[in-house]
Structure 1
Amino acid sequence: MQSDIENKFDAYPADARQRLYEIRRLIFEMADELKLGVITEELKWGEASYCSKIGSPIRLDWKEKHPNQVSLFVHCQTQLMETYKELYADRLAFVGKREIQLPLSAPMPLTELRSCIAMALQYHQLKHLPLLGA
């Protein structure tokens, strides 16, 4: 039986589905590299959500309203987006206090995404540090 996340991703266009699975793989790779243990994976608000015990949730989605991109979302009441903007304003596209837009037509910004994902997965250990320890 397929998981809710697989069912959700399978309903998307092929290019969006592939990109979301790439980001999902990055999340699990970073968690493994950082030795964070179990990552919870579930649907929250209709979006794929990933979190470690010491982190803040990361959500992923594709929206029909913006068919040429996927988005990575973080909790709007954290310092994550503020820090991401400080570090990567010239390399990533941001919307408001919670969204990073990733165009499907461009190569995935792996270095920046790995950093953003690592900060989110460790957020509660980093939140007291300037620029979340970046």
Structure 2
Amino acid sequence: MPNPIGKTSGKRAARPRADVSDPAVEAVFNAYPAPLKAKLKTLRRLILETARTTEGVGALQETLKWGQPSYLTPETRSGSTIRIDQVKSAAGQYAVYFHCQTGLVDSFRELYPTKLRFGGNRCILLDVRDELPRAELRHCVALALTYHLNKRKAAR
């Protein structure tokens, strides 16, 4: 069963906790080589922290989609799914994947043309040897986690 992260019973939301996870998701993380696993776990924490501090997102659900750790906003339906995984065709590469029909990656490309690398209209590409571009990724993750919320606001 998918794991809702950051929500307890009752009305108060708990902080998203990176140590609470679906065993299937943990198994995927544990199967990565050590340097890649460390980077993906850091990326996971960044996603959870961004969700916790972004207005309107609510609790995240961590699950597997296409065998990749995935983050959804089922409580508020505020955002588009975010997935993270290694890039299987490129050693030492990993990525943050977004729904290709949202236009999110095109927006990120406009915002950060020289700070981030992209894989078509699907993902932000990262390298295990590089520092994580935290500020830029937080902004992109926040935009993805509020994608539907922002569309609803724009339609009013």
User: Normalising to structure 2: TM-score of the pair?
Assistant: 0.78
* Alignment map for 1:105-116 (pairs within 5 Å): 105-116=129-140
Alignment gaps of 5+ in structure 1: none
Cα offsets for 1:6-36 (capped at 9, x unmatched): 1001111111101111111011101111142
In structure 2, do the counterparts of structure 1 residues 2 and 127 end up closer, same or farther at CA, with 3 Å as the change threshold?
Answer: closer
Alignment CA distance shift 1:89-1:12 (3 Å): same
8 Å CA contact 1:50, 1:58 repeated in 2: yes
**Structure 1's 9 and 25: CA in aligned 2 closer, same or farther, altered over 3 A?**
same
3-state DSSP of counterpart to 2:92: strand
Among candidates 40, 44, 51, match of residue 72 of structure 2 = 51
More helix by share: 1
* Runs of 4+ with >3 A deviation: 127-130
Please report the TM-score for the alignment, with normalisation by the length of structure 1.
Answer: 0.90
**1:39 and 2:60 aligned:** yes
**1:117 Cα deviation (Å)?**
0.4
TM-superposed deviation, 1:68: 1.1
Q: Percent identity?
A: 40
The answer to whether structure 1 residue 16 and structure 2 residue 40 are counterparts is no
Does the Cα contact within 8 Å between 2:70 and 2:84 map onto a contact in 1? yes
Check the 8 A contact 2:103/2:121 in 1, yes or no. Answer: no
Tell me the matched-pair count.
130
1:69 CA drift (Å): 1.3
On the 8 A contact 1:79/1:127 being kept in 2, the answer is no
Structure 2: runs of 5 or more not aligned: 1-20
Asked whether the equivalents of residues 69 and 104 of structure 1 are also in contact (C-alpha less than 8 Å), the reply is yes
Cα–Cα, structure 1 residues 26 and 117, in superposed 2: closer, same or farther, change >3 Å?
same
